[in-house]
Amino acid sequence: MSGPDGPETDLRDGPLNMAVYRIMKYAIWGVFRAWNRISVDGLANLPDGPCVWVPNHRSYIDTPIHAAIPARMRVMGKDSMWKYRFPGWLFTTIGCFPVNRDAPDRAALRTALDALTHGDGPVVMFGEGERKDGPRVLPLMDGPVYLAARAQVPIVPVGIGGTAAAMPRGAKFMYPRRIKFIVGEPMDPPPLGPSGRASRRAIRELTEELRERIQALYDQAQAAVGTPNLR
């Protein structure tokens, strides 16, 4: 498990990684397809190549349901998931990497940036940080837009509906409730200034626009599965 100043996670795909990844991906996807009738709208909006994929976050199952997305995804996850050796190895093997949410984690940022500059698929970042409750998408951290600016890759807003009903806070198992992804249109990263970096103002403004887009997609996804957001 990496700390704020520890080494970045090696996400290179070897034969073992890919074999385990494919087995896990199709097994998990099969469970969610049969039990939760998971579906995805808007896949045509997924860019070819790297991007920052930013969904809302309402349940512990928001990470594994990404098995439904036909792309090799890298997922930033809470570092406590790496507490034990075998689960940590498994998470890393299938493309996840840890982040310390209690302090600025430079190792996680380096890992994400490396995946965006040398990888070929999305990096998943839950912009709200940890799991939240309720119908409102809360203010986002600026990390997703910051990384997109550094790597100059698109940002993809995503709405996930139904996961709070399928596995609410405190639940020990999943209920057979429908789950839906709605993938929004990609957003361009903020432009770089003369210093080679995006301005803080541009990052803040785009982060708020991203939040608004995720809110609209979240509302659509919730309505589609029969649990509309009421605010």
What is the DSSP code string of 176-203?
----EEEEPPPBPPPPP-TTSS--HHHH
pLDDT of residue 82: 83
Picking from 48, 42, 32, the residue whose alpha carbon sits closest to that of residue 159 is: 42
Each residue of 132-190: pLDDT tens digit?
999 999 999 999 999 999 999 999 999 999 999 999 999 999 999 999 999 999 999 99
Q: What are the structural domain ranges in the chain?
A: 15-224
Cα-to-chain-centroid distance, residue 32: 17
Q: How is residue 36 annotated by DSSP?
A: H
pTM for the model? 0.91
List, in order, residues 6 or more apart from 79 with CB less than 8 Å away: 1, 2, 98, 99, 100, 101, 105
Beta strands of the chain (E only): which ranges? Answer: 39-41, 51-55, 74-78, 96-99, 122-124, 155-161, 180-183
- Cα–Cα separations (whole angstroms), residue 84 to 76, 88, 125, 156, 220: 17, 6, 23, 32, 38
Among 3.30.70.260, 3.30.70.1140, 3.40.1130.10, 3.40.190.10, name the CATH number for the domain at 15-224. 3.40.1130.10
pLDDT of residue 6: 58
Instruction: Kindly indicate the confidence band of residue 1, based on its pLDDT and cuts at 50, 70 and 90.
Output: very low
Cα-to-chain-centroid distance, residue 60: 12
Instruction: Kindly indicate the confidence band of residue 12, based on its pLDDT and cuts at 50, 70 and 90.
Output: confident
**What is the pLDDT of the chain when averaged over all its residues?**
91
> Which of helix, strand or coil describes residue 224?
helix
pLDDT of residue 108: 86
pLDDT of residue 85: 86
Picking from 137, 149, 102, 107, the residue whose alpha carbon sits closest to that of residue 213 is: 137
Q: Are 162 and 179 in contact (CB under 8 A)?
A: yes
The neighbour count for residue 60, using CB atoms within 10 Å, is: 15
Task: Work out the end-to-end distance of the chain between its first and last CA atoms, rounded to an integer number of angstroms.
Answer: 39
Q: What percent of the chain is predicted at pLDDT more than 90?
A: 70
pLDDT of residue 47: 96
43-55: average pLDDT: 97
Inform me whether the pLDDT recorded for 66 exceeds 70. yes
The sign of the dihedral angle between the CA atoms of 67, 69, 71, 75 is negative
pLDDT of residue 8: 67
pLDDT of residue 68: 95
pLDDT of residue 103: 67
146 against 109, higher pLDDT:
146
